[in-house]
Chains A and B, each alone.
Chain A
Amino acid sequence: DTAVSQTPKYLVTQMGNDKSIKCEQNLGHDTMYWYKQDSKKFLKIMFSYNNKELIINETVPNRFSPKSPDKAHLNLHINSLELGDSAVYFCASSLAGGPKNIQYFGAGTRLSVL
Protein backbone atom coordinates (compact mmCIF):
# COMPACT_ATOMS: atom_id res chain seq x y z
CA ASP A 1 0.00 0.00 0.00
CA THR A 2 1.41 3.35 -1.03
CA ALA A 3 1.56 5.73 1.92
CA VAL A 4 1.47 8.99 -0.05
CA SER A 5 0.07 8.67 -3.54
CA GLN A 6 -0.13 11.31 -6.24
CA THR A 7 -2.03 11.29 -9.49
CA PRO A 8 -1.24 11.63 -12.25
CA LYS A 9 2.41 10.60 -12.39
CA TYR A 10 2.93 12.45 -15.66
CA LEU A 11 1.02 15.44 -17.00
CA VAL A 12 1.66 17.02 -20.38
CA THR A 13 -0.41 20.03 -21.30
CA GLN A 14 -0.49 23.24 -23.31
CA MET A 15 0.17 26.73 -22.05
CA GLY A 16 -2.93 28.44 -20.77
CA ASN A 17 -4.70 25.27 -19.68
CA ASP A 18 -5.93 24.54 -16.15
CA LYS A 19 -4.88 21.30 -14.47
CA SER A 20 -5.11 19.57 -11.11
CA ILE A 21 -2.84 17.19 -9.27
CA LYS A 22 -4.27 15.01 -6.51
CA CYS A 23 -2.59 13.71 -3.38
CA GLU A 24 -3.82 11.24 -0.81
CA GLN A 25 -2.12 9.82 2.28
CA ASN A 26 -3.19 6.79 4.32
CA LEU A 27 -0.79 7.35 7.22
CA GLY A 28 -3.26 9.09 9.50
CA HIS A 29 -1.22 12.29 9.32
CA ASP A 30 -2.72 15.70 9.97
CA THR A 31 -0.39 17.85 7.88
CA MET A 32 0.23 17.81 4.15
CA TYR A 33 2.58 19.73 1.88
CA TRP A 34 3.27 20.57 -1.73
CA TYR A 35 6.84 21.00 -2.97
CA LYS A 36 8.14 21.99 -6.39
CA GLN A 37 11.39 20.64 -7.83
CA ASP A 38 12.58 22.63 -10.83
CA SER A 39 14.94 21.68 -13.62
CA LYS A 40 17.95 22.55 -11.46
CA LYS A 41 16.69 20.02 -8.92
CA PHE A 42 16.03 22.54 -6.15
CA LEU A 43 13.16 21.45 -3.92
CA LYS A 44 11.05 24.29 -2.55
CA ILE A 45 8.06 24.16 -0.31
CA MET A 46 4.93 25.79 -1.72
CA PHE A 47 2.09 25.12 0.72
CA SER A 48 1.23 23.26 3.86
CA TYR A 49 -2.12 22.38 5.40
CA ASN A 50 -2.76 21.23 8.93
CA ASN A 51 -6.19 19.76 9.62
CA LYS A 52 -7.48 21.33 6.40
CA GLU A 53 -6.16 24.79 7.32
CA LEU A 54 -3.46 26.57 5.35
CA ILE A 55 -0.40 27.11 7.55
CA ILE A 56 2.41 27.67 5.08
CA ASN A 57 1.98 29.71 1.94
CA GLU A 58 5.25 30.60 0.26
CA THR A 59 5.54 33.24 -2.46
CA VAL A 60 3.69 31.22 -5.04
CA PRO A 61 1.66 32.84 -7.87
CA ASN A 62 -2.03 32.90 -7.09
CA ARG A 63 -2.60 30.75 -10.18
CA PHE A 64 -1.74 27.92 -7.78
CA SER A 65 -4.56 27.04 -5.44
CA PRO A 66 -4.30 24.16 -2.99
CA LYS A 67 -7.46 22.56 -1.65
CA SER A 68 -7.77 20.17 1.26
CA PRO A 69 -11.20 18.52 1.42
CA ASP A 70 -10.11 16.46 4.43
CA LYS A 71 -6.96 15.60 6.36
CA ALA A 72 -6.07 12.76 4.02
CA HIS A 73 -6.21 14.76 0.79
CA LEU A 74 -4.43 17.81 -0.56
CA ASN A 75 -5.00 18.74 -4.19
CA LEU A 76 -3.18 21.35 -6.23
CA HIS A 77 -5.02 23.24 -8.94
CA ILE A 78 -3.06 25.35 -11.40
CA ASN A 79 -4.73 27.92 -13.63
CA SER A 80 -3.39 29.39 -16.86
CA LEU A 81 -0.35 27.16 -16.99
CA GLU A 82 2.94 28.75 -18.07
CA LEU A 83 6.14 27.25 -19.43
CA GLY A 84 7.88 27.99 -16.12
CA ASP A 85 5.46 25.76 -14.27
CA SER A 86 7.15 22.73 -15.81
CA ALA A 87 8.64 20.84 -12.88
CA VAL A 88 8.16 17.83 -10.65
CA TYR A 89 5.62 18.43 -7.91
CA PHE A 90 5.88 16.40 -4.72
CA CYS A 91 3.25 15.92 -2.09
CA ALA A 92 4.27 15.05 1.47
CA SER A 93 2.57 14.41 4.78
CA SER A 94 3.56 14.35 8.44
CA LEU A 95 2.20 14.27 11.96
CA ALA A 96 2.59 17.76 13.32
CA GLY A 97 3.80 18.58 16.79
CA GLY A 98 6.79 17.30 18.66
CA PRO A 99 10.34 17.05 17.43
CA LYS A 100 9.87 14.28 14.90
CA ASN A 101 7.60 15.74 12.24
CA ILE A 102 9.03 13.32 9.70
CA GLN A 103 7.70 14.07 6.25
CA TYR A 104 6.84 11.23 3.90
CA PHE A 105 6.90 12.09 0.23
CA GLY A 106 4.96 10.83 -2.74
CA ALA A 107 6.62 9.70 -5.96
CA GLY A 108 6.02 13.04 -7.67
CA THR A 109 4.04 14.38 -10.62
CA ARG A 110 6.11 15.43 -13.60
CA LEU A 111 4.36 18.37 -15.23
CA SER A 112 5.42 19.44 -18.72
CA VAL A 113 3.90 22.60 -20.15
CA LEU A 114 4.34 22.95 -23.92
Chain B
Amino acid sequence: DAKTTQPPSMDCAEGRAANLPCNHSTISGNEYVYWYRQIHSQGPQYIIHGLKNNETNEMASLIITEDRKSSTLILPHATLRDTAVYYCIVRVAGTGKLIFGQGTTLQVKP
Protein backbone atom coordinates (compact mmCIF):
# COMPACT_ATOMS: atom_id res chain seq x y z
CA ASP B 1 0.00 0.00 0.00
CA ALA B 2 1.08 3.55 -0.70
CA LYS B 3 2.47 5.41 2.29
CA THR B 4 1.08 8.72 1.04
CA THR B 5 -2.30 10.39 0.78
CA GLN B 6 -3.16 13.11 -1.70
CA PRO B 7 -6.35 14.94 -2.69
CA PRO B 8 -7.81 13.23 -5.77
CA SER B 9 -8.10 16.41 -7.82
CA MET B 10 -7.25 20.11 -7.91
CA ASP B 11 -7.74 23.01 -10.27
CA CYS B 12 -5.32 25.85 -10.93
CA ALA B 13 -5.53 28.95 -13.09
CA GLU B 14 -2.92 29.25 -15.82
CA GLY B 15 0.00 31.41 -14.71
CA ARG B 16 -0.73 30.94 -11.04
CA ALA B 17 1.19 28.77 -8.60
CA ALA B 18 -0.07 25.24 -8.12
CA ASN B 19 0.42 23.88 -4.60
CA LEU B 20 -0.06 20.13 -4.35
CA PRO B 21 -0.16 18.70 -0.80
CA CYS B 22 0.85 15.24 0.33
CA ASN B 23 0.66 13.49 3.69
CA HIS B 24 3.20 10.82 4.60
CA SER B 25 2.82 10.55 8.36
CA THR B 26 4.46 7.11 8.63
CA ILE B 27 7.61 8.03 6.74
CA SER B 28 10.84 6.66 8.19
CA GLY B 29 13.91 8.76 8.87
CA ASN B 30 15.86 7.49 5.86
CA GLU B 31 13.03 7.47 3.33
CA TYR B 32 12.94 10.04 0.57
CA VAL B 33 9.88 11.78 -0.84
CA TYR B 34 9.65 11.71 -4.62
CA TRP B 35 7.26 13.48 -6.96
CA TYR B 36 6.43 12.20 -10.40
CA ARG B 37 3.77 13.22 -12.85
CA GLN B 38 1.98 11.43 -15.64
CA ILE B 39 0.65 13.41 -18.53
CA HIS B 40 -2.18 11.66 -20.33
CA SER B 41 -1.06 8.54 -22.23
CA GLN B 42 2.61 9.05 -21.36
CA GLY B 43 4.99 7.37 -18.94
CA PRO B 44 5.55 8.88 -15.50
CA GLN B 45 8.10 11.71 -15.41
CA TYR B 46 10.36 12.53 -12.47
CA ILE B 47 9.92 16.01 -11.03
CA ILE B 48 11.84 16.35 -7.77
CA HIS B 49 12.75 14.57 -4.56
CA GLY B 50 13.93 15.42 -1.06
CA LEU B 51 14.77 14.04 2.35
CA LYS B 52 14.24 16.84 4.85
CA ASN B 53 15.43 20.08 3.30
CA ASN B 54 13.40 22.10 0.86
CA GLU B 55 14.45 21.54 -2.73
CA THR B 56 14.10 23.50 -5.95
CA ASN B 57 14.89 22.67 -9.54
CA GLU B 58 13.90 23.99 -12.94
CA MET B 59 10.51 22.29 -12.77
CA ALA B 60 9.28 22.79 -9.22
CA SER B 61 9.93 23.36 -5.55
CA LEU B 62 9.43 20.84 -2.77
CA ILE B 63 8.62 21.99 0.73
CA ILE B 64 8.91 19.33 3.45
CA THR B 65 7.62 20.05 6.94
CA GLU B 66 10.06 19.88 9.81
CA ASP B 67 8.47 16.69 11.19
CA ARG B 68 8.57 15.24 7.64
CA LYS B 69 4.98 14.09 7.90
CA SER B 70 3.83 16.12 4.92
CA SER B 71 5.14 17.96 1.90
CA THR B 72 3.97 20.33 -0.81
CA LEU B 73 4.96 20.41 -4.44
CA ILE B 74 4.88 23.89 -5.92
CA LEU B 75 4.70 24.61 -9.62
CA PRO B 76 5.41 28.35 -9.58
CA HIS B 77 3.70 29.35 -12.83
CA ALA B 78 1.39 26.59 -14.01
CA THR B 79 0.76 26.21 -17.73
CA LEU B 80 -1.80 24.14 -19.60
CA ARG B 81 0.93 21.58 -20.28
CA ASP B 82 1.21 20.97 -16.54
CA THR B 83 -2.22 19.29 -16.56
CA ALA B 84 -1.41 15.76 -15.35
CA VAL B 85 -1.70 13.29 -12.50
CA TYR B 86 0.88 14.12 -9.83
CA TYR B 87 2.17 11.33 -7.63
CA CYS B 88 3.79 11.80 -4.24
CA ILE B 89 5.82 8.71 -3.40
CA VAL B 90 7.87 7.56 -0.46
CA ARG B 91 10.65 5.37 -1.74
CA VAL B 92 11.15 2.26 0.34
CA ALA B 93 14.52 2.66 2.04
CA GLY B 94 17.34 0.60 0.60
CA THR B 95 15.39 -0.34 -2.50
CA GLY B 96 14.36 1.19 -5.79
CA LYS B 97 10.78 0.32 -5.08
CA LEU B 98 8.34 3.16 -5.80
CA ILE B 99 4.82 2.56 -4.50
CA PHE B 100 2.43 4.78 -6.41
CA GLY B 101 -0.81 5.92 -4.80
CA GLN B 102 -3.81 7.36 -6.59
CA GLY B 103 -2.15 10.74 -7.14
CA THR B 104 -3.71 14.17 -7.62
CA THR B 105 -5.19 15.07 -10.97
CA LEU B 106 -4.22 18.69 -11.56
CA GLN B 107 -6.29 20.53 -14.12
CA VAL B 108 -4.76 23.83 -15.23
CA LYS B 109 -7.44 26.08 -16.69
CA PRO B 110 -7.04 29.08 -19.00
A-side interface residues toward B, CB under 8 Å?
Answer: 4, 31, 33, 41-45, 48, 50, 55-56, 90, 92, 94, 96, 99-108
Contact = CB atoms under 8 A, between A and B. Distances in A.
B99 A45 contact: yes
Contact of A43 (B44, B45, B46): B44
B96 A99 contact: no
Nearest to A56: B97
B96 A41 contact: no
Contacts, number: 51
A56 B96 contact: yes
B99 to A, nearest CB: 7
Contact of B96 (A90, A94, A106, A107): A94
A108 B44 CA distance: 10
A99 B96 CA distance: 10
B46 A103 contact: yes
B44 A105 contact: yes
B4 to A, nearest CB: 13
Contact of A102 (B38, B42, B46, B95): B46
Given A31-B96, A45-B97, A99-B51, A90 B32 contact: no
- Grouping DSSP codes into helix (H, G, I), strand (E, B) and loop, the B interface class, with mixed when no group exceeds half, is loop
A94 B45 CA distance: 13
Given A42-B100, A42-B102, A107 B43 contact: yes
Interface string B83-104: 0010100010001111110100
Nearest to B32: A99
B68 interface: no
8 contacts: A31-B96, A41-B102, A50-B96, A56-B96, A56-B97, A99-B51, A105-B44, A107-B42
Given A4-B43, A56-B96, A56-B97, 4 more contacts: A41-B85, A90-B43, A92-B43, A104-B46
Nearest to A43: B100
Contacts of A101: 91, 96
A92 B99 CA distance: 14
B46 A48 contact: no
